[in-house]
Structure 1
C-alpha cells in the first residue's frame, strides 16, 4: 500500500503541474481504486500492484517525461525574460533625457557657427573648428535620429557653393541665412546607411536646409521634398526598443502558464483512451483478473517513451 501511495503522490503532483482535467480525472479514479484496497483488508494487494504496473506506472513515466520537457521550455522562457530585463535596465540607464534641452541649445550653437563661417568667408580666413557642431550627431544620432526615410529626399544635385575647408555651403542658402541673421532651428536628424543628415529651418521663413554630415555640405531642400519627409521631433530609438521588450516580457509571463498546460495531440488522445478504458471497465470485476502478461496501456496506445 505504501508503494501505491507513492504512485498516487506522483500522479497528484503531475495533475497539479499540468492542471489538465483529464489527468485530474485519472488521478481521482486511481485514488478510488487505491482506497478500495485500503478499506478492504481481505483483498489481495498484489492485484493493486499489478494494476499500477499496467496502468499507473506507464502514465507516470509518460507525463514525467513531458513535464521535464515543459520545465526546460519554461526555464528557456524565464531566461529570455531575464535577458530582456538586463537590456531594458541597460537601455534605460543610457537613455538621454537631456536631448530636448540640448536640441534647443544646438540650434543656437549652429546659428553662431554659420555666422562665424560667413564672417570668415568675407575675411578670407578659415578659423572654425567643426567639432563645435559635430558633437551633437556623435552624441545623439545612434539613439535619436530616424532611419525610416527615403534618402533620396535628403540628397541634392549639384549647386553653386562656397568652399570652407572641406565643407561646401550653397550660395543661395548662405544669402538667405544672412537675411535672417543666421538664426536657425534644428528640426530633426536622420541616420541612413552610415550617413547622418540634419534638417534645419531658417528663422522667420519657410526655408529649410540640409546639413549632409558625411558629404560635408549644406543646401536648401526643395519644398516638394519637404512635404514627403517625416519632420516630427526625434524620439529615442532605445525608448521604442525598451517598450517592445517590456511588451514581449508581459506576453511571455502571461502565456507561460498556458504553454505549460498545452499537451501534444497524441498525448491528449492517450489520456482520453486511458479514461475511456477505466470508465468502460467494471473496476471491481476486472481489476482483480488482469492478465499479467499484458500491459494494456502500452499495447493499446503503442507508446514509445524513448523518443
Structure 2
C-alpha cells in the first residue's frame, strides 16, 4: 500500500503541474481504487500492484517525460524573466524621484517669472534672469521630455509680441496671463530634433501656451492642435523601460502557464482512452474478485467527477 501511495503522490504532483482535467480525473479515480484496497483488508493487494504496473506506472512515465520537456522549454523563458527583473531593479534604483515635486514647484516659479516680466515691461526695465526658469529643462529634459511628437504642432506662425531681452512673448498671451494673475501650470515637456518645448495651461482656463526654449518665444496654442498632442504627464525614460519590461514579464509568465497546460493531441487521446479503461467492467473485474465490489466501484467511477 505504501508503494501505491507513492504512485498517487507522483500522479497528484503531475496533475497539479499540468492542471489538465483528464489527468485530475484519472488521479481521482486511481485514488478511489487505492482507498478501496486500503479500507478492505480482504482484497488481494497484488491485484492493486498489477493495476499500477499496467496503468499508473506507464502514465506517470509518459507525463514525467512531457513535464521534463516543458520544464526545459520554460527554462529559457524563466532566464529571460530573471534578467528582466534584474534590469527593472537596477533602473528603479536610479530613477529620479524628485521630478514630480519639482514639476509642481516649477509651475509656481514660472508664474512668478511671468509676473516679473509683465512688471518690467510696464516699467520699461529688464531685470529678469532667465536662468531662474531654464534650470528645469536643463535638469530634466533629456530624462523626461517626450520625443514622439509632430514638431509642427508645437510651432507657431508670426505673432504680435513684446520683446524682452532676447525673448518674445505674444501680446495676446500676456493679456490672458494678466487676467488670471499669471498663474500657470506646467503640463509637460517635449524634446524633438534637438529643440525643447514646454507646454503650460493658464489657471482656470482651457488656454495653453508653448515656451519654445531654443526659439526663445512664448505663444498661445491652437486648440485644434492641442487635440493632436499627447499632453499626458512626462515620465522617466527609465520608467518607460521599466513598464515595458514588467509588461513583457507578465506576458511571458502568462504564455508559460498556458504552454505548460497544452498537451499534444495524441497524448490527449491516450488520456481519454485511459479514462475509458478505468471505467471498463472487464478491467475492474480483473482487479476485484467480488462482483458486488466491482459494481460499487463502477458506479463510483461513472460519477461525473468534472462537475460539482
Structure 1 pair 10–87 and aligned structure 2 pair: CA distance change class (3 A): same
Of 103, 112, 115 in structure 1, the residue corresponding to residue 116 of structure 2 is 112
Of 234, 237, 262 in structure 1, the residue corresponding to residue 235 of structure 2 is 237
Distance in 1 (CA, whole Å) between partners of 2:188 and 2:250 is 33
CA shift for structure 1 position 88: 9.3
Distance in 2 (CA, whole Å) between partners of 1:67 and 1:115 is 77
CA shift for structure 1 position 3: 3.6
Of 212, 225, 230 in structure 2, the residue corresponding to residue 228 of structure 1 is 225
Contact 2:184-2:202 at 8 Å conserved across structures: no
CA shift for structure 1 position 22: 2.1
> Which residue does 2:132 correspond to in 1?
132
CA shift for structure 1 position 84: 9.1
CA shift for structure 1 position 191: 0.8
CA deviation vs aligned residue, 1:36-90 (integer Å, no higher than 9, x gap): 7664565646x835x4344323322333344453694795697589569748965
Q: Secondary structure at the match of 1:94?
A: coil
Distance in 2 (CA, whole Å) between partners of 1:21 and 1:210 is 61
Contact 1:190-1:198 at 8 Å conserved across structures: yes
Q: Secondary structure at the match of 2:155?
A: coil
> Which residue does 2:97 correspond to in 1?
94
CA deviation vs aligned residue, 1:199-254 (integer Å, no higher than 9, x gap): 457899998653212x33215346xx23431599863535x969968x959977x9
CA deviation vs aligned residue, 1:89-140 (integer Å, no higher than 9, x gap): 6588725442223312222135436766x69xx78x9x86543221122344
- Mean CA deviation greater in 156-165 or 55-64: 156-165
TM-score normalised according to structure 1 size: 0.59
Contact 2:37-2:43 at 8 Å conserved across structures: yes
CA shift for structure 1 position 4: 3.5
Report 1:1-307 matches (<5 A): 2-34=2-34, 39=41, 44=46, 48-49=49-50, 51-68=51-68, 69=70, 72=74, 79=82, 86=89, 90=93, 94=97, 96-98=99-101, 99-112=103-116, 130-141=130-141, 145=145, 150-157=150-157, 167=166, 169=168, 173=171, 184-187=182-185, 188-193=187-192, 194-199=194-199, 209-213=209-213, 215-221=214-220, 225-229=222-226, 235-237=233-235, 259=258, 262-264=261-263, 266=265, 267-280=267-280, 282-286=282-286
Distance in 2 (CA, whole Å) between partners of 1:12 and 1:185 is 68
Q: Which runs of 5+ in 1 are unaligned?
A: 289-307
Q: Secondary structure at the match of 2:105?
A: helix
Distance in 2 (CA, whole Å) between partners of 1:104 and 1:210 is 16
Structure 1 pair 20–88 and aligned structure 2 pair: CA distance change class (3 A): farther
Distance in 2 (CA, whole Å) between partners of 1:109 and 1:147 is 26
Contact 2:188-2:234 at 8 Å conserved across structures: no
TM-score normalised according to structure 2 size: 0.59
CA deviation vs aligned residue, 1:125-167 (integer Å, no higher than 9, x gap): 9x865432211223444676556654212213467989988x5
Distance in 2 (CA, whole Å) between partners of 1:284 and 1:209 is 84
The RMSD of aligned alpha carbons is 5.5
Q: Secondary structure at the match of 1:216?
A: coil
Q: Which has the higher contact order (CA 8 A, sep 6+)?
A: 1
Distance in 1 (CA, whole Å) between partners of 2:226 and 2:8 is 69
- Mean CA deviation greater in 12-21 or 85-94: 85-94
Q: Secondary structure at the match of 1:211?
A: strand
Q: Secondary structure at the match of 2:233?
A: coil
